[in-house]
Structures are given as C-alpha cells and as structure tokens.
A and B are shown apart, each in its own frame.
Chain A
Amino acid sequence: MFAVLGPVLLMVAFGYGISFDVENVAFAALDQDQTAESRAFVEEFRGSRYFAEQPELVDLADLDRQLQAGAIKVGLVVPPDFGRDLRAGRSPEIGVWIDGAMPFRGETARSYAIGIAQGFGGRSAREAGLDDRSAAVPVSIETRYRYNQEFESVRAMVPGVLMLLLVIVPAMLTALAVVREKETGGIINFYVTPTRRLEFLVGKQLPYVGVAFVSFVLLTLMAVFLFGLEIRGNLPTLALGALLYVFGTTAVGLVFSTFVNSQVAAMFGTAIATTIPAINFSGFMVPVSSLEGATPWIGRLFPSAWFQIVSVGSFAKGSGPGELMLPLLALAGLALAFLFLAALLLRKRAV
C-alpha cells in the first residue's frame, strides 16, 4: 500500500514543484533620477512576466540589505541625471545587481535583464532616430527548441521523475527484504536448504519488480491524465524499458543487501547510493553529456541514465524501438550484471 502510494504522492509534488521556469523574479529599483525616461526604463521590467516588482529601494544600503536577505534577486540602480544624459547622448550607466547565490537562477535572470534593457535601448534609439545597432550583422539565427517548444519544465521533469521514483523505492524495498531476513534470522532457511543463490535472489526480487511495475503503470497514467503529457513515442517500448529498468533497480537493491547487515544501513545506504546517481548523474538535472570527470561513467554504469533516455525519448522526443535499441540493451545488460554481482557477493553462510 505504502509502496504504491508513496510514488504517487511524490509524482504530484515533483511534477508541480520542480520548475526551472524563471518567472516572477523579485526585483526592486533605486530610481535616483525620477524622470520620464527613468520611469520608462523601470516600467519595462514591471511589464515583463519574468520580473515581479518589490517596494522601491531607498538607497544603496537598502539595496545591499534586500539582496542579502534574499528579498530581491535583481536590483536596478538608475543614476541621477539619467534622463538628461540619455537625451544628450552621453551614455549614462545603469547598474544591474544580480543575486548570484543560486547560479542557474542568476544566469537566467541576468540574460532576461540584459534582454529587457536592450529592448528599451533599441526602442529609445529608434525614437531618437538612430540606427538600431543589432541589425548590423547580416546573419539570422533560427533557433528551434525541439521536443518542448513551450519550454515547460513539466514536460521535461515528469519523465525524469518517473525514472527517479522507479529506482529509489524499488531498490530500497528489495534491499530491506533481504536484510530483514538477516536481522530476524529468516535467512537461516536459505543457509540450511539447498536453495541456490540465484534462486533465492530472484525470488526476493520478483515481487518488488511486480510492485514497481504497478507503480510505473500508475505514474504513467498520472503523467498522461494529470499532467497532460502525451506519449509521442511508442508505449510498448516505454513499458519494456520500464520493466528492464525495475529489474535493474531491484537488482541494485540486492547488491546492497549482500554487504549490509542492518535494516537501517540498508535503507540509508540504498537511499543515498541511488538518489545521487539518479538525480545528478542521469541526465535528470544536467545532461549526461555535460558531466565531468568520472561522473558520466558512474551515470552510465547505473540504470537510471539509460532509462532517462527511454523515458524522455518516449514521452517527448517521439523515439521508437529502433532509436532506443542501445539504451534498452544497456538496461537489460545492467540488470543482469547487477543480479550476478549480487549472487557473487551473497555468502552462503552468515559471518
């Protein structure tokens, strides 16, 4: 019951909660000029859906204070005589302060702020009868945002959350199932009977593969009916990928169960050891192709990176079995590899 309900709750929280959409960035202005021009400049920010205005700043110390308290993320400082200098063509300097504490956010806020300011600059230049300088370079760049034209976080996140939930919970439950027997002594049955290691492990694994697959079905239904995603690719391919994936993630749980002796350690160990590669090295937050050092390889040796490709491919990119052959094979290979690793590590006798 818990096993199915937990993932469903998490899907709701993540689907709505994780968002890279940068909107309503809190900004405040320190308008030291108070002319029509300076007000028009601040108005540009006010009118943008990316920025949300906070009470006007009193002085520079106030700017520092508000930035430090995190109350504003962008501060604009319009110098005295801005309007006069602008009319006289003296290029006054506007100060833009960005809170860099959250780098992703800061980077996006900076590019929005520059864009808005340039828009204002182009317009005031045209009004003044000057050339718009940006037209000078004779090249047009046609940027196409593929697979997610609307640039909605939810389209990228929900397939990723599916990947995430199908690793953390199944791996942990499987590990606990084995370690629990160690703690309660039930594993003696395995030690004293001629049950083979693989039989024992697969027997422990299969129920959780079943549970995980049921949650896959539920989560996919939620993705489609609650979050309004469509499966642009091939549903059977996605389902096959999910099945291979949960075989792999439960096998990861088995591997953990072999060298851990307490349920606490099993739970804690699988939680930490699965969330880090699944969140950070799988392509969920950052593309695997951009990871550095050993981390892309940690990612590729863990099933999550491959299922991420299958999941995002099937939901957003319209990929079918042909394109996804490589990740599917990798998932199958890793599932077998982790299962055999667990069998190798499982000792027939308790220490």
Chain B
Amino acid sequence: MRTLSAAFWLGLKEIASLLRDPVLLFLIVYSFSIAVVSVARGARMEVNNAAVGIVDEDGSSLSRAIAAALLEPRFQPPIPLQLDEVDEAFTLARSTFVLDVPPDFERDILAGHTPDLGLAVDATAIAQAGSGAGYISQIVQQEVATFLSLAPDTTPPAFTLAVRTAFNPNLDSQSFNAVMQMVNSVSILSIILTGAAVIREREHGTLEHLLVMPLRPLEVMLAKIWANGLIVLAAATFCLTMVIRWFMAVPIAGSTGLFVAGTALYLLAVTSLGIMLATIARTMPQFGLLAIPVFVVMNLLSGSSTPLDAMPPILQWLMQASPSTHFVSFAQGVLYRGAGFEIVWPQMLAILALGGVFFAIALRRFRTALFA
C-alpha cells in the first residue's frame, strides 16, 4: 500500500515534468494525429494512383481507348512517352508501368493477327508491380474485346466464383495504415518516454536524489511506468476515437474498451522494456542507438507492415518474444475483424506474460543500476 501511494505521488511528479516540456508534448500530439493521418492518406499499399506511361506507336482509336480505360483511382492518367524516354522514366521512378502499343496494332487486331502488346513493369516497386500488371492486362483485354464488339459468350461458364472480402470489402489500405501507424507510435513513444526519463535523471544526477530519499527502486520504477504509460494510453485512446474514427471516418469493427484494455497490458511491457534499455545505456545517445533498432525492428517485423508468415520461420519464431507481434495481432483482430475477448485472449495473455518478464528483468537491472 505504501509502495503504491509512493509510486502514485512520484508519478504525478513525472507527469508534471513531462507537461513542462512543450517539444515533447508537441511530438506526442503529432505522432498520434498528423503522423497517423498523413501516413494513412499518403502511402497506400494497394494499387492506387499508379503512374503509367504509354508509348503509343499506333496512334489509333483503339490505342487511345486503352489509354482512356486506365481509370482513377487505381491509375493516374497515362503519361505519353517516346520509346527512348522509357528508361529515364523508370530510372527516375516516374512511371511504374509502361505500356507499349506497337505500330499497326489496331490493324493487326482487326485482321485477327494477335499482335504483341508490351507491358514493362518496374519490379522494384514490389507492392504494386504484380497486381498492377494483372489489372492492366485485364483492362487491355476488355478494351480489345469491346473494340471488336465480341458477342458476349452465351455459354455459361463451368462455374462461377463469388469472391467476398471480409472485414474490409474495398481492400482500402487507409484504415489499415491508420491503425498500424497508431500502434507503431504507441511502441515508439512508450520506449522513448520511459527510457529517457530514467536516463535524464541519471545524467542530471537526480537519480541519486531519489536514492537518498526513503524510496525503493520498485516505487521509482512503478511511478515511471504508470505516469508515462497513462499519457501514452490517453493519447492512443484519443487517436483511435477522435482522429481515426471521427476525423478520418474509418470504420472500427470491435470494442474500443477491449482495445484500451489490451493497450494497457502492452504498455506495461513496452515501458518496462524502455527502462530495461535505459539501464543498459549510460548516456542519451547510447540509449538512442539502442532504442531505435529495438523499436524499428519491433514495429517493422511485428506484422504491422508486412505479414508475419512471409518472413523466414526463424524470424517468425524470434518475433514471438516481442510483445509488439502479439499486440499487432490483437489490434488487427479487435479493430479490423471485430474479434471479442474470447478470440483474442491468447494474445492478451502473451502480452501480459512478456510484460511480466520484462518488468522483472527491468526491476532487477534498475536495482543494480541504482545501487551501483
């Protein structure tokens, strides 16, 4: 009880010192608002607004019809190119696709010659190349068929395919990105805020002040965890309800309360991790160099940017030790698929267990660091 009350009062001091740092406050607000919105709106992973160049060596009504059929929002209006401009367009990444309509294309089509149409794809644009090339091929075939006004085939197909997309029918990556960026911000902020709070006290020598006061390491650490954790939790809740759901009008499937509860568990794990890293590093630059690889790996390999099962098995296995992997899977389940507690409890349990381990290690190291 005494521990809790000491931790409570010490935590208020933490919050007060954070509130006095305007830059830090601005950064917290920024990473949960502007960062989330701009990433979600600007960077889309599906084939969207793709840049297509077209080398029209035919100049026929058919080639123009094909160019006109590449429609927004999936494609930008095609940029006319000369043959010798194609390489430059690829090198400077101005076009991701270049369609080459050969001379006499329309005439050959009418004559039934099956001419070759060239489609060059910049395959270093991994996210768009495969699906985009598929869409363009479909569009070309459709346009040629319309041009020849092929009678619709009346024989029924062998079977039909009813493709339904669950949870995000339009496969719109905006909602995906917004939530994942928020999750990433939670990890980054918690590690940096708590870790830096420890390092700053050490560099300023105020950690010694705490030491001579009748406080135990556990109390100091709990104070840092609850104070910084609460701030991040409040910011994340604000981000989910106001920025994502209200401002961006992104539909959120599941329960906000469940998400907040899971986030609180996650915060225990990441704030402990922040303290743990702070006990390893001696100075702020060292802490930065230690923390950055940790949270970048935690974010990028957690399944929030690319799916976990596309990674080598050993890495998938190693990432199970990162609470972010479970948290991302929890957040995706709750917020995209509307999963309830009965589905996501294994992830919550994993987060709690890892949080417990991190907390124990951090406390041990924190004690030795204090009394060293």
Q: Are B41 and A117 in contact (CB under 8 A)?
A: no
Cross-chain contact B39 with A276 (CB below 8 angstroms): yes
Residue of A nearest to B18 (CB): A264
A173 touches B288 (CB 8 A): yes
Which positions 89-110 of chain B face chain A at CB distance < 8 Å? 90-96, 109
The closest CB in chain A to the CB of B38 belongs to A295
- Does A323 lie at the interface of the complex (its beta carbon under 8 Å from any beta carbon of B)? yes
A95 part of interface (Cβ distance < 8 Å):
yes
C-alpha gap A98/B169 in the complex (Å): 9
Q: Is the CB of A141 within 8 A of B115?
A: no
With a CB–CB cut-off of 8 A, which chain A residues contact B12?
none
Closest to A270 in B: B288
| Inter-chain contact A137/B150, CB cutoff 8 Å | yes
Which chain B residues lie closer than 8 Å to A272 at the CB level? Answer: 27, 30-31, 35, 185, 188
A177 at the interface (CB under 8 A from B): yes
When C-beta atoms are compared, the residue in chain B nearest to A144 turns out to be B120
**Least Cβ–Cβ distance between A274 and chain B, in angstroms:** 10
- Within A148-178, which residues are at the interface with B (CB < 8 Å)? 148-149, 151, 153, 155-157, 159, 168-169, 172-173, 176-177
Which residues of B61-90 are within 8 A (CB) of A? 76, 87-88, 90
Return the CB mask of B274-315 against A: 1 if under 8 Å, else 0: 000000000111111111110011001100011101111001
With A103-B168, A146-B120 as contacts: A95 and B309 at CB distance below 8 Å: no
Q: Which of A65, A90, A144 has the most CB of B within 10 A?
A: A144
Asked if B343 is at the interface of the complex by the 8 Å CB criterion, the answer is yes
Query: Is the pair B196, A268 in contact by a Cβ cutoff of 8 Å?
Result: yes
Collect the chain B residues with CB atoms within 8 Å of residue A70's CB.
329, 332-333, 337
Task: Tally A-B pairs: CB < 8 A.
Answer: 382
Is B122 in contact with chain A by the CB < 8 A criterion?
Answer: yes
A20 x B123 contact (CB < 8 A)? no
A13 at the interface (CB under 8 A from B): yes
Residue of A nearest to B155 (CB): A130
| B91 engages A323 (CB within 8 Å) | yes
Question: Would B43 and A291 count as touching, CB distance under 8 A?
Answer: yes
Provide the B168-203 mask, 1 if CB < 8 A to any CB of A, else 0.
111111001000000001001100110011011001
Q: Check B192–A291 contact: CB distance below 8 A.
A: no
Residue A100 lies at the interface, judged by CB distance under 8 Å to chain B: yes
**Chain A 172-201, CB within 8 Å of chain B: the 1/0 string?**
110011001001000000000000000000
Interface membership of B58, Cβ < 8 A: no
Binds A, one of B129-137, B207-215, B260-268, B364-372: B129-137
CB of B141 within 8 A of CB of A283, answer no
- A24 to B199 Cα, complex, angstroms: 44
Residue from B116, B189, B307 whose CB has the most chain A CB atoms within 10 Å: B307
- Asked whether, in the complex, the Cβ of A136 is within 8 Å of the Cβ of B124, the reply is no
**In the complex the two chains form, is A104's CB within 8 Å of B127's CB?**
yes
Which of the residues A26, A155, A287, A294 comes within 8 Å of B96, measured between beta carbons? A287
Cα A57 to Cα B119 in complex, Å, equals 40
| Nearest A residue (CB) for B145 | A137
B42 touches A292 (CB 8 A): yes
Mostly, the A contact residues are: helix
Instruction: Determine how close the nearest CB of chain B comes to the CB of A300; give it in whole angstroms.
Output: 11
Nearest-CB distance from A18 to chain B (Å)? 5
Complex CA–CA separation, A143 to B133 (angstroms): 7
Q: Pick the contact of B51: A89, A121, A290, A316 (CB < 8 A).
A: A290
* B45 and A104 contact, CB distance less than 8 A: yes
User: Which residues 289-336 of A have a CB within 8 angstroms of B?
Assistant: 289-295, 298, 308-309, 312-313, 316-317, 319, 323-324, 326-327
Q: Is the CB of B292 within 8 A of A168?
A: yes
Check A101 for interface membership: any CB of B closer than 8 A: yes
Q: A96-B161, A143-B133, A290-B96 are in contact. Are A104 and B141 (CB under 8 A)?
A: no
In whole angstroms, how far apart are the Cα atoms of A100 and B173 in the complex? 9
Tell me if B49 counts as interface (CB < 8 A to partner A).
yes
B48 (CB) vs chain A CBs: closest residue? A290
What mask results when residues 20 to 40 of chain B are scored 1 for a CB within 8 Å of chain A, else 0?
010110010011000100110
Decide: B203 and A139 in contact? CB cutoff 8 A: no
Contacts known (A18-B300, A137-B145); A104 close to B173, Cβ less than 8 A = yes
Would B293 and A287 count as touching, CB distance under 8 A?
Answer: no
Q: How far is the CA of A168 from the CA of B90 in the complex (A)?
A: 27
- B129 A151 Cβ-Cβ under 8 A: yes
B258 CB–A CB distance under 8 Å: no
Inter-chain contact A6/B293, CB cutoff 8 Å: yes
Q: Which of B158, B297, B337 is packed against the most chain A CB atoms within 10 Å?
A: B158
Would A2 and B289 count as touching, CB distance under 8 A? yes
Q: Once bound together, how far apart are the Cα atoms of A107 and B343, in whole Å?
A: 25
Smallest distance from the beta carbon of A42 to chain B beta carbons, Å?
Answer: 13
Measured CA separation A124–B159 after assembly (Å): 10
Residue of B nearest to A327 (CB): B92
**Would you list which residues of chain B between 145 and 168 have a CB under 8 Å from chain A?**
145, 148, 150, 153, 155-168
Using CB atoms and an 8 Å cutoff, list the residues of chain B in contact with chain A: 21, 23-24, 27, 30-31, 35, 38-39, 41-51, 76, 87-88, 90-96, 109, 112-131, 133-134, 136-137, 140-141, 144-145, 148, 150, 153, 155-173, 176, 185, 188-189, 192-193, 196-197, 199-200, 203, 283-293, 296-297, 300-301, 305-307, 309-312, 315, 329, 332-333, 336-339, 343
- What 4 A-B pairs come out closest when comparing CB atoms? A295-B42, A100-B168, A289-B51, A148-B123
Known: A17-B312, A130-B155. 9 other contacts (CB 8 A): A6-B290, A90-B156, A107-B131, A140-B117, A146-B123, A263-B196, A271-B188, A272-B188, A287-B128
